[in-house]
A and B are shown apart, each in its own frame.
Chain A
């Protein structure tokens, strides 16, 4: 089955700096890679996703890159703001539609 690893587990950045979270996956058949943001006490919210036929996708301050050959994908947050502080989860979906999640990254943006 799919195995997703996520790094780092915690990330502290100064407001305005960039944050990068990296994930690797094991199943080359995985075709969909969403990123979720989870704030304290809330459910996970999809913030951006990328499919296996695309190498990069950007939505305002958030971007995701995918390297299918190396089987890794990354989340990039630019110009970080305090409201970006949350736990971020990457996930990979296999051909059955099953999502396997990374362990999460606690992002703390300090003013």
Chain B
């Protein structure tokens, strides 16, 4: 199946700093990227959907100025958590779908801990 690579897998940052998470589709053109967040013992919750070259569409309750999403190419999308706070500590997972693939493939996930 198609491969989606997400980095970093783990990151610890200080409160107030920003963290960038990368999601790459390695063998297909990802026209659409989805970003999910999962808090402990909860389900994955969709944060935003981004189409290549367009502004991301955010789900209700997700602050677009805090979670910056860039999808400037067909193989790369980034999620930047700006001015991170401890309550942003979570598991972030990207998913990509696009040309030549019939389903969305997930990255490995990034565990963010804000101290």
User: Nearest chain-B residue to A106 (Cβ)?
Assistant: B41
Instruction: Please tell me if the beta carbons of A97 and B104 are within 8 angstroms of each other in the complex.
Output: yes
A49 surroundings in chain B (CB, below 8 A) = 103
Contact partner, B106, options A41, A43, A98, Cβ 8 Å: A43
B107 surroundings in chain A (CB, below 8 A) = 43
Q: Interface segment, B11-19, B42-50, B66-74, B78-86? A: B42-50
Task: Please report the number of residue pairs spanning A and B whose Cβ atoms sit closer than 8 angstroms.
Answer: 46
CA distance A99 to B108 in the complex (A): 17
Q: Which residues of chain A in 38-66 are interfacial with respect to chain B, using CB atoms and an 8 Å cutoff? A: 41-44, 46, 49
Instruction: Please tell me if the beta carbons of A102 and B43 are within 8 angstroms of each other in the complex.
Output: yes
Cβ of B25 within 8 Å of any chain A Cβ, yes or no, is no
B23 surroundings in chain A (CB, below 8 A) = none
Q: Which residues of chain A in 17-50 are interfacial with respect to chain B, using CB atoms and an 8 Å cutoff? A: 32, 34, 36, 41-44, 46, 49
Number of interface residues of B (CB under 8 A): 22
Instruction: Please tell me if the beta carbons of B32 and A43 are within 8 angstroms of each other in the complex.
Output: no
Cβ contacts B101-115/A at 8 Å (1 or 0 each): 011111111010000
Contact partner, B93, options A43, A46, A98, A103, Cβ 8 Å: A43
Instruction: Please tell me if the beta carbons of A93 and B103 are within 8 angstroms of each other in the complex.
Output: yes
Instruction: Please tell me if the beta carbons of A43 and B108 are within 8 angstroms of each other in the complex.
Output: yes
Size bracket, chain A contacts: 20 to 34
| A57 → chain B closest CB, angstroms | 13
Report which residue of A34, A96, A99, A103 has the largest number of chain B beta carbons within 10 angstroms of its beta carbon.
A99
Cβ of B77 within 8 Å of any chain A Cβ, yes or no, is no
Interface, chain B (partner A; CB < 8 A): 32, 34, 36, 42-46, 49, 91, 93, 95, 97, 102-109, 111
